[in-house]
Amino acid sequence: MSKTKVASKNKTAKLTIDNKSVFLPIYHSTEGESVIDITNLHSEANVFTYDPGFTSTASCESKITFIDGNKGILRYRGYDIEELAKKSDFIEVVNLLIYGDLPNKAQLKKYKQLISRHTLLHDQIINFFQGFRRDAHPMAMMVGVMGALSSFYQDSLDINDAHQRQEATRRIIAKASTIGAMAYKYSIGQSFVSPKNNLSFSENFLHMCFSNTAEEYKISPILAKAMDTIFILHADHEQNASTSTVRLAGSSGANPFACIAAGVSSLWGPAHGGANQAALEMLEEIGTSKNIQKYLKKAKSKKDPFKLMGFGHRVYKNYDPRAKILKNICQKVLKHTGIKNDPILKLAMDLEKIALNDKYFIEKKLYPNVDFYSGIILKAIGFPPEMFTVIFAISRTAGWTAQWTEMIEDPIQKIGRPRQLYTGNKHHKYGYKRSKKNTR
């Protein structure tokens, strides 16, 4: 991938500190906000910028994913998510994210073959699973086994070799789904089911999760399409916490499997990928529409840590376009599985309606996000809540590897090393100091 400097330096920002002015270049995005380049700020003015949570900081230049949070737009490589969800399948989207444009038929066929060649895991990896407790969260197994792949696939660890980078990428994407399915089987005490390479990516995942030694799982095209759409919608989301974690881990030169394991860890948190499990558990706790006001009051209280899971987003200040697609699929899946009048779906729709008309949620621009409806669909397909974040992780391996590759190939790539605003002690002479704050 060749990097062009998208930024055009036709404007500068002037920052004056103690009568000294520093001129900072402004770069324009192809779409979206411009950025002020502060690279030389420290050398010229001896100050750092301060931005906890990176709310106003662009950490990199990227050509992969575009989000317009005010309009509720999400595009991979320039293609609208709605169109990709309708017309593509997951592996085509993976190929798009990694190579920059949609593949032709022959390219896609070849890529699908390449991915399916990597679905098997080294036999020794079974020993890893046997080391986990049966009640371990499947995300714990994902983190551990993903990192462990670096000990098995040592011929794809050289980050400076383009061929090895591509091989590692294909291995990560193909094996993540096998690891996820094995984690599920292990947690329910069933034998592992081998992948079947004549199935599509999503069909194969359903097969590995729901077939068993006594019975072959009959794959419904409606559920396979729903599964595939979930994979497409979660495939990338520009510089979110887990992707930034992958980039930061990779910036030190760490191997790709280790970087993706770091991404899986970051995704696990309830403010990020763990929100799909938390959203369904929250709906189950609310139980009935009669309790909605009680929980909304909790969500609005500054004293209560409770938040409405599956609501709100750092970037979207409008309806998350992924949630819109999933709301529609949710109804189709429930109808197909014969779950008529599902009380949890009814509760979710009531909660959404009430929250969207509530002053607090209107003023703070809090809308349902991707995690609000995905759990209801995954539960209807047959997954327990612990698997929801695993499924998110399998899908996000596409975005993580695309973003990791972009970072490695970026000529200005440096180790990520933020600075800080130090507010600790000034120099102390060595010895015990009586301090009111010393509560040990």
* Closer of 250 and 312 to ligand CMC (Cβ): 312
Structure tokens at 200: 């599509």
User: What residue has token string 């103690």?
Assistant: 18
Active site residue 371: yes
User: What is the nearest approach in angstroms of ligand CMC to the Cβ of residue 392?
Assistant: 7
User: What is the nearest approach in angstroms of ligand CMC to the Cβ of residue 310?
Assistant: 5
- The reply to whether 223 sits near ligand CMC by the rule CB under 6 A is no
Decide if 391 contacts 230 (C-beta within 8 A): yes
**Integer angstrom CA distances of residue 440 from 14, 21, 432, 436:** 48, 47, 13, 11
Burial class (CB in 10 A: 0-12, 13-18, 19+), 217: middle
Interaction pattern, residues 46-75, with ligand CMC; x per rule: CB under 6 A: -------x----------------------
* Closer of 186 and 400 to ligand CMC (Cβ): 400
Size of the site for ligand CMC (CB under 6 A): 20
Q: Which of 310, 314, 306, 300 is nearest to 362 (CA)?
A: 300
The residues, ordered by sequence, that sit 6+ positions from 227 with a Cβ below 8 Å of its Cβ are 202, 205, 206, 381
Judged by CB under 6 A, the chain residues 398 through 437 that form the site for ligand CMC are: none
Q: Which of 137, 207, 234, 313 is catalytic?
A: 313
3-state secondary structure of 384: coil
Using CB atoms, what's the residue nearest to ligand CMC? 312
* Closer of 187 and 369 to ligand CMC (Cβ): 369
Q: Which one of the spans 12-20, 185-193, 310-318, 332-340 is the region binding ligand CMC (CB under 6 A)? A: 310-318
* Closer of 20 and 314 to ligand CMC (Cβ): 314
Identified binder of ligand CMC from the candidate list 271, 287, 291, 335, rule CB under 6 A: 271
* Closer of 138 and 195 to ligand CMC (Cβ): 138
Identified binder of ligand CMC from the candidate list 165, 175, 313, 379, rule CB under 6 A: 313
* CA–CA distance, 440 with 423 (Å, rounded to integer): 21
- The reply to whether 299 sits near ligand CMC by the rule CB under 6 A is yes
- The reply to whether 272 sits near ligand CMC by the rule CB under 6 A is yes
Decide if 145 contacts 129 (C-beta within 8 A): yes
**Integer angstrom CA distances of residue 397 from 174, 257, 425:** 9, 10, 42
DSSP string, 9-58: --EEEEEEETTEEEEEEEE--SSS--EE--TTHHHHHS-----GGGTT--
* CA–CA distance, 405 with 415 (Å, rounded to integer): 15
* Closer of 366 and 390 to ligand CMC (Cβ): 366
Q: Which of 343, 352, 342 is nearest to 295 (CA)?
A: 352
Interaction pattern, residues 368-387, with ligand CMC; x per rule: CB under 6 A: -xxx----------------
Judged by CB under 6 A, the chain residues 240 through 269 that form the site for ligand CMC are: 240
* CA–CA distance, 5 with 28 (Å, rounded to integer): 10
Active site residue 313: yes
- The reply to whether 273 sits near ligand CMC by the rule CB under 6 A is yes
Structure tokens at 54: 């990176």
Interaction pattern, residues 328-367, with ligand CMC; x per rule: CB under 6 A: ------------------------------------x-x-
Binding site for ligand CMC (CB under 6 A): 53, 240, 271-273, 275, 299, 307-314, 364, 366, 369-371
Catalytic residues: 313, 371
